[in-house]
Amino acid sequence: MAITTETILVSTKVVTEHKLVQIAEDIITKDDGVETKRVRFRRVLTPDMTITGESSEIQTICNDNWTQTIKDNWATKQANPFT
């Protein structure tokens, strides 16, 4: 009996003027190749986050969208959230 797990990127979406990256991933558990469980996880990456541990696809999306201006605007927003 071999139990394996794999993570599949389901969707990505860039939202707001701050270019937040929304990610949906499924973690699939299989027993002898037969899927026994699937769990969906959602998370958001912000321009101040380190993305070195992300897949190359997600890194490309972030790097294409997170210009220095976007990063600076995000930092300003975080420092002054109510303005």
Question: Which domain does 75 fall in, by range?
Answer: 3-79
Structurally, how many domains does the chain consist of?
A: 1
Q: What is the pTM of this model?
A: 0.87
CB 41 within 8 A of CB 55: no
Q: What is the pLDDT of residues 12-37, one digit of tens each?
A: 999 999 999 999 999 999 999 999 99
- Give residue 69's pLDDT band: very low, low, confident or very high (50, 70, 90): very high
pLDDT at residue 82, rounded to an integer: 85
- Give residue 83's pLDDT band: very low, low, confident or very high (50, 70, 90): confident
